[in-house]
Amino acid sequence: MKDSLIKFWHAHSETIIALGYNFILAIAILVASSLIARAIRKAIQNTNTKLKKFDATLIPIFSTVVSYAVYAIGGVFILDIFGVNTASLIALVGAAGLAVGLALKDTLSNIAAGIMLLILRPFKSGDFNEFGSTQGTVKEINLFTTVLETIDGLYIASPNSVLWGSNIKNFTRNGKRRMDIVVGISYSDSIDHAFKILQAVAEKEARLMTEPAPQVMVASMADSAVNVQLRAWATNENYWSAYWDLNKKVKESIEAAGLTIPFPQRTLHVVSEQILLTEKGKLRSD
């Protein structure tokens, strides 16, 4: 047995040493790829923490893609060490990738849309968005889906391609929103008096922004009322609380000033049967 091993070693020693060297080199490349990938991921996270360049929810996607790219390059080097024709392999992988891409075009479209959302950043985590018939606060942006939470606490995972193919309305992005408060007054009431009341209500509300300044105008001439509108701006944090309170204050102030908030009205003309018969007789005689 010992003699057989010695003979085998003498016959194949160069090959064994070369394979061992290649294995050690492959392990070294694998370890180096792992260290480089980890260092790049950490660098991306640290840089984003300082510069705030990307949304925090997008950093895992970006760092994962970069890590996979480093491992792929390391794998090509390892295959080249063992004599594998990497050019043919890359061509084969490209052909296979094309076939897989055609089979998974919808999935890949979500990835492409996720990358575009990552680059253009129409919204970030914590923004309140509307697209199509869906509204919600963005909680997480993944490679395939975007996770939102609706106003009533529902969980929605929407494919990235759906968001990218829709008009995205971001309520948070600009930091402020305009509220439109409409109240109806009677046609017999003074419009100027109503303007003064709404302007006074706006001036007393500290949560409203002074620039742009609040505006008061006639919104429309409805069937049974003149609709007067108060337009005012507030920051996102104060918007809803100010909106709800102003609706209450406007109603109370209008009524306290003696103005009327009319109910919808319809005028009916009742004609008796005798009058109808008389009119028919006149028409016949004519």
Q: Is 102 helix (H, G, I), strand (E, B) or coil?
A: helix
Q: Which candidate, 236, 228, 237, 175, places its Cα nearest to that of 202? A: 228
181 and 247 in contact (C-beta within 8 Å)? yes
Mean pLDDT value across residues 70-88: 74
Q: What is the secondary structure of 258-269 as a DSSP string?
A: T---PPP-----
Above 90 in pLDDT, residue 284?
A: no
The percentage of the chain sitting over the pLDDT mark of 90, rounded to a whole number, equals: 39
Helix, strand or coil, per DSSP, at residue 236: coil
Cα torsion 68, 69, 72, 73 to 10°: value is -150
pLDDT at 280: 57
DSSP H helices in 82-165: 86-103, 105-120, 160-164
| Mean pLDDT for all residues in the chain | 81
Quick check: bond before 212 cis, omega within 30?
yes
Rank 86-90, 117-121, 149-153 by mean pLDDT and report only the highest.
Answer: 149-153
Least confident of 16-30, 152-166, 171-185: 16-30
Amino acid at 133: S
Separation CA 82–CA 77 (nearest Å): 9
Domain architecture of the chain: domains with CATH: 2-103 (1.10.287.1260), 122-170 (2.30.30.60), 176-256 (3.30.70.100)
| Mean pLDDT of all residues in 171-198 | 94
Q: Average pLDDT of 247-256? A: 94
Query: Which of the pair, 80 or 176, is modelled with greater confidence?
Result: 176
Backbone φ and ψ of 145, nearest 5°: -135, 160
pLDDT at residue 146 greater than cutoff 80: yes
Cross-strand pairs, 234: 177, 208
pLDDT of 250 higher than 80: yes
Q: Which residue has the higher pLDDT, 234 or 108?
A: 234
Q: Which residue has the higher pLDDT, 79 or 238?
A: 238
Q: What is the pLDDT of residue 84?
A: 67
pLDDT of residue 142: 78
In angstroms, the CA 14 to CA 241 distance is: 81
> Which of 16-30, 36-50, 78-92, 228-242 holds the top average pLDDT?
228-242
**How many angstroms from the chain centroid is the CA of residue 10?**
68
Rounded Cα distance, 231 and 243, in Å: 11
| pLDDT tens track for 264-277 | 766 666 656 665 55
**Residue 82 neighbours by CB under 8 Å, 6+ apart:** 22, 26
Question: Tens digit of pLDDT for each residue in 12-64?
Answer: 666 667 677 778 888 888 888 888 888 887 787 776 555 455 555 566 666 77
pLDDT confidence band for 153 (50 / 70 / 90) = very high
